[in-house]
């Protein structure tokens, strides 16, 4: 009589493991509400940034939930159906070391991929396998091309194997021209020759940067210390211009750009 009990236990164990980790490569149902609850409850003093992050992530998720896989084309078209491909959501996250950028993207991944985000401690890892963090792309010149090709191949493989990818690029402001070009081409042209599924179009890409702190402090000083006087558009403009200025400066970038990303 022990065998049926053991078999039942094995089935229960397998079922628990499946229910525990299913969805870690896909956004869980009700991911938007999970993101809003976890980030709002866990991060203090970053209300504007967190509000913007929640809004764009939820909009991105909602767009893909509502968008059909195909739709009818005008009657003049010879092809009756076409798959609607969109670009991924790309978010530039700025702040000095220690302000909570890494903590925020960890919480975001836990909320997106885990049905129990408060206990998803192995993230990045088995609790959120859809999330991938890329650390440091400032390779020596002698091996730069080879290493960037390897990174590109790894990112493509991740997007091919994951239904809903999330990719974090750490210290994006320190990337040289070749690394930024690789990422730009990956995001803009991946569909053309790499045979990606819809994963990349559903992806959330976070570009993390340490630049802009002193510029935002100056903006706050000019506003008399009142954050309410600083619009999100004004802050975004300052950060964008600061990042572009750093790329153009040969003393802060190994290779200078001739065009903006």
Q: Cα(196)–Cα(159) distance, rounded to whole angstroms?
A: 7
CA 155 to CA 148: how far, in whole Å? 10
| Residue 45: pLDDT band with limits 50, 70, 90 | confident
Does the residue 141 lie in any domain? yes
Average pLDDT rounded to a whole number, residues 2-15: 42
Of the two residues 174 and 259, the one the predictor is more confident about is 174
Q: What pLDDT is attached to residue 242?
A: 84
Residue ranges in 120-225 assigned as alpha helix (H): 144-161, 177-193, 213-222
pTM of the model: 0.74
Q: What digits encode the pLDDT tens for the residues 46-99?
A: 888 899 899 999 999 888 776 554 443 333 333 333 445 567 888 888 888 888
Arithmetic mean of pLDDT, 142-151: 86
Q: How far apart are CA 170 and CA 207, in angstroms?
A: 6
Write out the two tokens for 221: 């000083």
Same domain, yes or no, for 226 and 157?
no
Task: Examine the domain organization and report whether 44 and 134 are in the same domain.
Answer: yes
Residue 258 within a domain = no
Count of Cβ atoms closer than 10 Å to residue 114 Cβ:
24
Whether residue 77 lies inside any domain: the answer is no
> Using CB atoms within 10 A of its CB, is residue 16 exposed (0-12), middle (13-18) or buried (19+)?
exposed
Three-class SS state of 89: strand
Residue the block writes with tokens 């619009």: 231
Q: What is the pLDDT of residue 199?
A: 58
Burial of 78 (0-12, 13-18, 19+ CB in 10 A): exposed
Inside any domain, residue 79? no
Contacts of 191 (CB under 8 A, 6+ apart): 85, 200
Please compute the mean of the pLDDT values over residues 96-124 and round it to a whole number: 90
In a domain, 33, yes or no: yes
Range of the domain at 199: 24-63+85-210
> Same domain, yes or no, for 157 and 195?
yes
Is the distance from CB of 186 to CB of 137 less than 8 angstroms?
no
Does residue 177 lie in a domain region? yes
Question: Do 150 and 242 belong together in one domain?
Answer: no
- What distance in Å separates the CA atoms of residue 126 and residue 121, rounded to the nearest whole number? 9
- In this structure, the answer to whether residues 190 and 245 fall within a common structural domain is no
* Cα–Cα dist 83/72, whole Å: 10
Domain count, the chain: 2
153 and 185 assigned to the same domain = yes
Q: What is the CATH number of the domain that holds 101?
A: 3.40.50.300
The answer to the question of residue 71 being in a domain is no
**Burial class for 196, CB neighbours closer than 10 Å (0-12, 13-18, 19+):** middle
User: Same domain for 134 and 112?
Assistant: yes
Q: 194, 210, 226: which is the final residue of a domain?
A: 210
Instruction: Tell whether 31 and 132 lie within a shared domain.
Output: yes
Residues 156, 200 within the same domain? yes
Q: Are residues 101 and 159 in the same domain?
A: yes
Rounded Cα gap, residues 154 and 223, in angstroms: 45
């Amino acid at each position: 009589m022990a065998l049926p009990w053991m078999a039942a236990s094995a089935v229960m164990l397998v079922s628990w493991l499946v229910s525990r980790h299913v969805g870690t490569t896909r956004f869980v149902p009700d991911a938007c509400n999970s993101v809003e609850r976890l980030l709002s409850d866990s991060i203090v003093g970053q209300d504007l940034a967190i509000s913007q992050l929640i809004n764009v992530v939820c909009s991105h998720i909602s767009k893909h939930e509502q968008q059909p896989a195909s739709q009818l084309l005008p009657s003049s078209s010879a092809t009756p159906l076409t798959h609607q491909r969109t670009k991924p959501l790309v978010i530039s996250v700025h702040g000095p070391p220690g302000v909570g950028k890494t903590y925020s993207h960890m919480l975001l991944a836990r909320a997106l991929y885990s049905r129990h985000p408060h206990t998803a401690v192995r993230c990045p890892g088995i609790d959120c396998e859809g999330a991938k963090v890329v650390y440091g792309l400032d390779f020596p010149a002698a091996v730069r091309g080879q290493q960037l090709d390897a990174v590109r191949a790894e990112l493509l493989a991740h997007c091919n194997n994951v239904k809903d990818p999330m990719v974090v690029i750490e210290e994006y402001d320190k990337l040289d021209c070749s690394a930024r070009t690789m990422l730009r081409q990956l995001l803009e042209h991946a569909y053309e020759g790499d045979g990606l599924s819809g994963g990349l179009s559903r992806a959330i890409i976070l570009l993390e940067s340490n630049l802009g702190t002193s510029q935002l402090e100056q903006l706050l000083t000019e506003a008399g210390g009142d954050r309410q006087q600083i619009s999100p558009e004004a802050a975004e403009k300052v950060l964008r211009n600061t990042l572009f200025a750093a790329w153009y400066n040969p003393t802060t970038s190994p290779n200078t750009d001739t065009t903006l990303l």
